[in-house]
Structure formats: structure tokens, C-alpha cells
A and B are shown apart, each in its own frame.
Chain A
Amino acid sequence: MKLTRKQVVVGAAAGAIGAAGIYETVDRLTTAPARPPAAEPGPEQHLLGGQSIVRENGAEVIVPPLHHEIVTATVETEDLRDAKQRLEQALAGLEERYPLTPAGLGVTVAWGLPYFRRYVPAPAQTYLPRDRRAEKPALLDAIRFPSDPADTILEQNDVAVLLRSDRLDHIADAEHALFDKTGLFRVTSIRKGFAGGGFDGGTSLPKQMAVAAGVGGADLIPDTAELFMGFTSTLVANLGPDHIANLETLGLALVPDGYFRGGTHMHLSHIAEDLEAWYLNFAYDERVDTMFRPNLKVKPGTQTVPQGPEEVATSAEVVHDYRTLGTIGHSQAIQPSSRLQEDYLGEDGTLYKKGTAIPQRADFNTLDNPFFWSADPKRDRMSTTPAAGVHFVVFNPTSDDFHRNRMAMDGALPDGTKLKFEPHSRGQGFNSVLTTTHRQNFLVPPRRHRSFPLVERL
């Protein structure tokens, strides 16, 4: 049988593209929430408008899109100028069909260092942003952190596309349009998941999906939990405001010729979560201590814990808890690097107040183990048994900024203080029940350069 070019290029992923598997269950368990109308798309690809907000325990909480998907790929074309045009046409077509809101579709195209090194090395030397604080490129290869296993896979994809929508059919359409129809890429992995539910007091998606999938410890997840781990993650105060994670906003990155202005950095990882270890070994009070900070008093069973600027921890407080209690909280440890330490007048003219969060997370629950589909199942240690995890997606201004936050999670604080923990130490917070399987860093160009960036500068 002679294969078409499309079949050769897309390869074995063809059968997986458009398939939803267990995630079709999401649509049977919940309905899409009402969404505000979409705004005009801005220069940033990574911002998704039209997300509704609810109030939980006195805090504003973003109701994220129900369905999420990430497709990673390598470039499989020689004619880059033609590829740039065709991908842009496909992206523009999606924008015509769907508004930029969870009710429509959010598409974020992010490019990895292998793309810049292999296809546009000369302009990349000139135009890739540089981190002024770290005195390094703004886009760095991913690294293994102290609490990562030695076998965490540091990936080398050319591109990652993040798709977000309340509608599975919108995501399937985008997959077909960008990968199947263009034939520009060899898909390396497909990663799927979901978020939300439970804000109306009903049983949340994570609980229902984990129970439906027969995941160990699923019955222990609180009924209305937004995430498998039992706490609300999408508090407005926990997420950076609109432009703060842009390369240029906080002055962290030099953006030569303004080419990548409006762009950002994206870290992508898959993290397996041992729910039985979490819920059988950490009492509720301990889960609060380790997720937020030691001795934090909240009403038993609280899932939404306000983390506004006034609650932000300092490095001194983290060190004090480490020395006196032998433990640190996850949020507490990260805040000295993830929150502004002083008021800052952003490059966009906005006065960002002390304590404001910088990272913009777009992480989502998954039952992939570790992916929905992989081109290299042996390398990726694929299993057909569903498992609780998170596809962690976060936008920071630079790789180094993300690395600082992640190092703080392991006790290496931004002021140079190192709080020594053994890997998977209980005192290190909820790290002890997490296992990172894959990591990669990407650059997210602004919308105007989202398709094969820098090709026109060759």
C-alpha cells in the first residue's frame, strides 16, 4: 500500500488525532459553564480571554476551560517559508471559526530550542531574547531539579501546541487543522486532560473522572476538589495578571528589535501524583501545612485558601519554619521568587503591587500515563492503565525565572539560602508524593510571529 504524504508525515499519530478516549466522559459528567463574551485577540498568544470567575471562600477563582490538550511535534518539512504560510493560514482559520474564549478555542503555539538551533540558527543568535538578571538566554534547555528522579526525561520537541476549550469537538478540529491537514509535523506526543467542575457544589470532574477510571485513592479525593490533590489552584491572586509574564513587562528579558515582544516562556512537564500516599499519609492539617505553609489555620475541609499579596511569605519565614519545624510549605517556599518583592511599574505602564504573582499557570488534571499517545512508547514509559497526574503548563517571563521558582520548591531560595532536604522528603512539602516524568522549556512568540518564527529573517 502506498502511503500519502500526510500519512507518512503524521505517521502513527493519525489514529490518535481527534480521538478523545476516556476524556469523552467529561462531557457526560458536566456541562460547560456560562462564559463572558470574547475580547479582541491581543498580541499575546498565551492569554485566554472570556474565562468566568466565581467566588469561593472569599477569593476570586477562575473557572478554567473543561478540556485541555497539548500536542508536541518535530518539524517535517524542508520548505520553511511555505510552512510558515500554511501554518499561519490554519491558525487564522481556527480564529475565524472560534472566538478566543473557553466557549470557543484557545491556541498557543510554543517553540523549543531544537527548532531554533536546527532551522533558524543564525537569526536565533540575533533575535532570541536574553535574560538580563540571569545573564543567560531567556530560553534554556530544561533541567532536572533536586527532587526530580534521575530518569526524568528532558524532551527535545520542536514545537508544542496548547489547545484549550469547553468543547472537545473544537479541540479535535484544531488537531486536524494544524497537524493532519498541514502535514508539516511529525507528532511526538498527545497529552490530554481536564479541569474544573465542583464550583457549583456538585462533585467535581477530578473526583468523578478518577473514580470512573479506577485510579488508586480516587475515593479519597474531596468531592468538590478542583484538582486531584484536593485544593483550588486557579485563584486569581495565585495567577499573574494579563501582561506580567510577557518577556518584556518586568524588564527581565532583552527583546532584540522587539521581535518577540508580547511573547513569553512556557514550561511543560508531566507530573505523576500518588494520591494514596497523599491522602493516607497526610492528615488534612498536614496537607494544608505542606501545600501552603506550616501551622496555617483554616476551617477543616477548606479547599480554597486565599493567597493574596498580604499572605505572601518571605524567605526569612520559610527559613524559620525549616529550622523550627523541619518542613516548608509549597506555596510559601515559592512565593519569595514567584511574587513581586516590591511594587513595580511594568513596561506596559501598569503598576504591579508588591506580592503580585508572576507565573501564569495553565496546568490541568490528567489520567494519561504519562501521555494519551506517544510516538516512542518505550522511551516515554507509556502505560494503558490510567493514573492521576498533572500536565503542568506555566508561563514565566524566562526559563531562569521558572527555574528559580522550581528550585525554591526544593528549598533553594532566591537569596541563595539552601534548605537541605533529601529527595521525596516529607518535610519538603507535597513534593514527596509527586514524580516528574518529562520536562521541556519553550518560547511562546507573540501572535504575529507564532508560525515558524524567524523564518522570514533567514
Chain B
Amino acid sequence: MGRLAIPVLAVAIALGAGAASSAAPPKGLVCPNKASWQKLADRIKAPVYCPAWLPDPLVGTIGNRWNNINSVSPDRSYLESFVWQETGGGAAGGELHVNLRGYPGRTTIPICNEINTVNGKTHTVNVPCFADPSGTVRAPGIVATMYTVNQDADQWHVLLAWRHTGGLYTLSEHVAPPLDFDKVVAYLKQELNALVLIKPTA
């Protein structure tokens, strides 16, 4: 049996919580390569969030060696994925994987297709791409909802989602060695506190 979750267009499922406040962005944070994020913001004609801090060795520069997915869809939603993988055994091996997404012009949770193949027959079920909300995480200018069951590129990730200027934004990280759930949540809080809002050039 295989399982695959494919994101499709959003339907009207309200985002339970999570909204950006009008607070000023955090001071003293430096986007590692603002130009690359500015280019993205200009391309989608909406604000994007640049990660000023990611766990070592990841660096949040679009186009660098860790940025394995740099994707913009026709609906202007984007996915920026940063991953480090090491296949060595024991302490030498592991994975760090952080996704940043934005869905301009939409505040509803997108719907994914969950595909199960059992005994040669394919069964498709529509499921929310982010599910099982479990609390709120706050950072300057952001009130995010934590989701623990996520799909597609965010599968097996813990995900934070929030709204800003009519758009939905997410930050997620993979629960995989060397990180456990608690450590991922701690990293996500640190990453959320280190997001720098980049507005599109007028």
C-alpha cells in the first residue's frame, strides 16, 4: 500500500486561529539574503517571511545548497524548503527539514488528497493539509496555531500557521532524528521569532 498526499485548491475550512497582529517586526534580525526573498515577494505580489535563523547548518537563502524546493504555483502560493540530510549511522546521521509556505489571498486551510492503495485498488480521500490544532505560539507580530498532523511536503512535520494581510503563512519542521517532537517545537518557536517580513516592492 502506498500513501501520497497531494495539495489541491483550498476549500472553505476556516483557519481556527492564527493571525498576524499589527505589531512591528522584530528588530535586530537580519534576513541572510534579503534579495532572494524580495524577489519572491515581488514575484507573488505579496509579503513573504524570510527566516533569519534556521538550525545549523541550514541557512535561509533561496537558491543556496540547502534550498531543495523553490516553488511558486499559478495561484501565487509558494513553498521554500530547506533540508540537510546525512545518511551516516548513529549520531552522524539525521535530517533537518524546514518548510516555509505562503498562500496569498487565502486564509483557509488547503485540502490535500490522501491516496491509499490497498490490494491494487486506489482510494482517494480529501483531508485538510493541516490538522489536529494543538495550541498557540506567539512571536512578535504573529499569533500562530500549531498543527501536528500535516500532509504533502509537511507530512511528519509540526506546522505553525498564521494569517497576515489576507494570506495564510506556514512554517513547519520535520520530526526526525536527531530531533524529537519537543525539540522540533522548541526550534519552531525560535524560527518563528526570527522571521523577517519582506514586503513586495510597490
Contacts and interface: CB of A to CB of B under 8 A. Distances in A.
Contacts of B131: 283-285
Interface in B64-83: none
A150 interface: no
B175 interface: yes
Contacts of B182: 219
A133 to B, nearest CB: 29
B149 A421 contact: no
A373 interface: no
Nearest to A325: B123
A357 B86 CA distance: 50
B127 interface: yes
Contacts of A324: 123
Given A279-B148, A283-B149, A426-B1, A326 B180 contact: no
Interface string A406-428: 00000000000001111001110
A392 interface: no
B181 A220 contact: yes
A281 B148 CA distance: 8
Query: What class of interface size applies to chain A in its complex with B?
Result: 20 to 34
Contacts of A218: 181
A428 B95 CA distance: 29
A219 B181 CA distance: 8
B181 A426 contact: no
B156 interface: yes
B116 interface: yes
A155 interface: no
Query: What class of interface size applies to chain B in its complex with A?
Result: 20 to 34
Interface in A325-350: 325-327
B156 A281 contact: yes
A220 B175 CA distance: 12
B181 A217 contact: yes
Main secondary structure, interface of A, reads helix
Task: From B1, B123, B131, B158, name the one whose CB has the most chain A CB atoms within 10 angstroms.
Answer: B1
Nearest to A419: B119
B45 interface: no
Contacts of A426: 1, 3, 116
B118 interface: yes
B121 interface: yes
B99 to A, nearest CB: 14
A220 B181 CA distance: 8
A296 to B, nearest CB: 15
A285 B131 CA distance: 10
B1 A425 contact: yes
B151 to A, nearest CB: 9
B181 A421 contact: no
A216 interface: yes
B188 to A, nearest CB: 13
A280 interface: yes
Contacts of A281: 149, 155-156
Contact of B1 (A220, A284, A285, A422): A422
B95 to A, nearest CB: 14
Contact of B180 (A276, A282, A323): A276
A116 interface: no
Contacts of A285: 131
A425 B157 CA distance: 20
Given A220-B148, A280-B175, A427 B185 contact: no
A136 B149 CA distance: 46
A108 B125 CA distance: 47
Interface string A352-394: 0000000000000000000000000000000000000000000
Contact of A322 (B118, B155, B157): B118
B118 A421 contact: yes
A172 to B, nearest CB: 33
Given A219-B185, A276-B175, A425 B118 contact: yes
Contacts of B150: 280
A284 B119 CA distance: 25
A280 to B, nearest CB: 5
Contact of A283 (B119, B121, B132, B157): B132
B180 A216 contact: yes
A280 B1 contact: no
Contacts of B127: 283, 286
B1 A421 contact: yes
Contacts of A279: 132, 148-149
A295 to B, nearest CB: 10
Contact of A420 (B118, B128, B134, B157): B118
Interface string A426-458: 110000000000000000000000000000000
Across the A-B interface, the 5 shortest Cβ-Cβ residue pairs: A326-B123, A283-B131, A326-B118, A425-B1, A283-B149
Given A276-B180, A425-B118, 19 more contacts: A217-B180, A217-B181, A220-B181, A276-B156, A279-B132, A280-B148, A280-B175, A280-B181, A283-B127, A283-B128, A283-B132, A284-B132, A322-B118, A326-B1, A327-B118, A426-B1, A426-B3, A427-B116, A427-B118
18 contacts: A216-B180, A218-B181, A219-B185, A220-B134, A220-B181, A279-B132, A280-B157, A281-B149, A283-B128, A283-B132, A284-B131, A326-B116, A326-B118, A327-B116, A327-B118, A421-B1, A422-B1, A426-B3
